[in-house]
Every structure is written in structure tokens, then in C-alpha cells.
Amino acid sequence: MEILAFGVQSDEKPLIENAFAGQHDVRCLDVFLNRDTAPIAAGYEIVSTSVNADLSGKVLQTLAAGGTQMIAQRSTGFNNIDLDVAERLALRVARVSYYSPYSVAEFAWTLAMAVNRRIIRAASRTRDFDFRLDGLLGRDMRGRTVGVIGTGKIGEAFTRIAHGFGMNLLGWDIAENAACLELGMKYVEKDQLLAEADLISLHVPLLPSTHHIIGEEALASMKDDVILVNSSRGGLIDTRALVAELRAGRFTGVGLDVYEAEAGLFFLDKSLEGIDDDTLARLVTFPNVVVTSHQAYYTRDAVGQIIEATVRNVADYLAGRRSENVLVPAPPSN
């Protein structure tokens, strides 16, 4: 069987091809799945997609009409998939429920320290042989307070690094993580965390209940010199409200690996044509903001695990097996 994989990065292609070698042929495309590209999938029973694919109702209908029966998404998040439509169309949908949490946690800390120590500005200066230290003053993390919003596997990994820095640990989640408690984390109400933390990092999924969890009110309640990091999902932050706070001169730094309107932008080269997203264009002009293009997961270890899980998802589909990765048909309720 030949599988069609959308949104494959050049680094991923040999890993995907090697993982399926001897089992199935894979046609890897660098274009992302959307309304315009969905007709390409005609005749392919199995389609694999990336996190920024458009799997809305119209796209799913096109896939089903073309003969697609199984969608294997190469990510943990699935907020881009209309699961109700997929179920009505009898499409099997699977995701990757787990991959290295360290990839994202370590990158979140990379963003935090990049804005704290002004790494981008410093590196840019030294390329011009400007070795002044003006404007590069950072601060120690030891003894300061970190607020971790979401203490699942990634949040726990982030917390372990914070513990290594010698920070005071505050956490907020719907359930407490015993491992974080052992590290000395104190679980508090979200409002208290936002008001007391010197560094805030987001590690919750994007759900209706978490959309714009960091909105105008939450941003206003933070310290003026806070560092804010988001390596989870762009929709957790109201970006327009964030820009307004930055314009007012607040925050030591902001590190974003995700953006709420990133679809159609991230993973693509827009350098020659520019973008018409005024919010993002303004955001990247602030000297205390670092924006990267959804690369926190992008390590050989994590990508390898994602691909291995995708191979298993395909094998399970062909064998008629169910696993924790299957989203549609919906898992039976207990």
C-alpha cells in the first residue's frame, strides 16, 4: 500500500521513508493539507498529516470522497481536526499521544533564557563586531519564582529543569502531579500564580476551556518584569492583548514557539512575499520578544518517536486494532 504524507519537512522525509521501508511505500509531500491540496489524496486509503493541516469538515469530505479511510496525524494536538465530521464520514483518525516531553520542555527553557539574557540581540551585535554590553543585562533564575500552567509530562519536565535552577515552584492544573509535589511545587489558584511568578510557562492543551487562558485580564495581573513563554498552542494567548501590553513597555521578555494564527505561515518561507498579519508583524518587532516557528518538538528523538507511533497507528488500522492513539471512532466511555 502507498501512504500519502502531507507537510513533510526535509529532515523528516528520510526518517519517514526508513520507518515504513519494507512495509509500505510512502509518498512524501512538503505541501500542507488544506482545501486546495486535499484532492491530491484521491485514491489514497491512508493519509498522514502534520500539526498545521486543515482537517475541517470540507477537507474531510474531500478526503472521504476520494477514498481515504484513515488519517494518521503526526502530532499530539488535534484541535485542527473536526472529529464529529470524521466520525460521520466513518474516517479512522489517530494521533501520537506521546513523544519526548524533554524536547518541548528544553526548548521552552531555551526561549526563556534567550529573552532573559538577550541572546538574539547579543549575537546580532557581535556579527557586526559590536561588543558593548548596553541593554544586555539579564537576571539570575535561582531564587526566583516560576509558574507552570499545566503540569503534565511536559510541564513536569520543565519543572525539573526549574528545580535544577533553584527556583521557587508554583503550579496550576486541574490535577496535581505527584512528581512535581516531590520537587517542592506548590499548587495555587491561577490568579495567584500569574501575580507572583517571575517566569510563566504554558503547558496545557488548546481546548475551549483554555482558549485565551492568557487574555487581557490575565496579562494585566502579571508582574511588569515577568518572562512569558508559550511552547504549547498559540490559541492559549490573546495575541492582540499581548501586543498591547508590550507596547506599554511591560514584560522583561516573551518567548513564543506558537502563534494562534500560525496556520498558513509557520513551516513556510514567506521571506520574499511578506505577510498580511499585522499582529504578528508587530509582535516580532519588539526587541524583548523571540518568536520561533513551532519547532519545540523538532528533535531527532521526538520526531523519531512520532514517526514510530505513526507506523504503529497504520499497522493497528490495517489489523483492525484499537489503541490509545485512536480519536475516531471515539473511545468507549467507562
- DSSP string of 279-328, one letter each residue: HHHHHTT-TTEEE--S-TT-SHHHHHHHHHHHHHHHHHHHHT---TTEEE
Look up 233 and say whether it is catalytic: yes
Q: What is the pLDDT of residue 218?
A: 98
Residue 29: which of 61, 7, 14 has the closest Cα? 7
Per-residue pLDDT at 92 exceeds 80: yes
Contact between 208 and 163 under an 8 Å Cβ cutoff? The reply is: no
Q: What is the pLDDT of residue 264?
A: 84
Per-residue pLDDT at 333 exceeds 70: no
> Choosing from 12, 156, 260, 262, which is the catalytic residue?
262
pTM: predicted TM-score of the whole model, two decimal places: 0.91
Q: What is the pLDDT of residue 165?
A: 98
Residue 231: which of 80, 107, 113, 98 has the closest Cα? 107
Q: What is the pLDDT of residue 267?
A: 87
Per-residue pLDDT at 334 exceeds 70: no
Q: What is the pLDDT of residue 331?
A: 62
> Choosing from 92, 95, 203, 294, which is the catalytic residue?
294
Query: What region does 274 belong to: left with phi over 0, alpha with psi -120 to 50, or beta?
Result: left
pLDDT tens, 119-161? 999 999 999 999 999 999 999 999 999 999 999 999 999 999 9
What is the band of 263 on the pLDDT scale with cuts at 50, 70, 90?
confident
Residues 6+ apart with CB under 8 A from 69: 45, 46, 90, 91, 92
Look up 262 and say whether it is catalytic: yes
Per-residue pLDDT at 56 exceeds 90: yes
High-pLDDT (> 70) share of the chain, %: 99
pLDDT tens, 188-227? 999 999 999 999 999 999 999 999 999 999 999 999 999 9
Q: What is the pLDDT of residue 268?
A: 86
Report the chain's mean pLDDT, rounded to a whole number: 95
The set of cell numbers assigned to 262 is 500560525
Residues 6+ apart with CB under 8 A from 185: 148, 151, 159, 169, 170, 171, 177
> Choosing from 233, 245, 250, 260, which is the catalytic residue?
233
Q: What is the pLDDT of residue 281?
A: 95
Average pLDDT over residues 6-31: 95
pLDDT tens, 170-194? 999 999 999 999 999 999 999 999 9
Q: How far is CA 64 from CA 33, 78, 89, 137, 258, in A?
A: 14, 18, 7, 56, 30
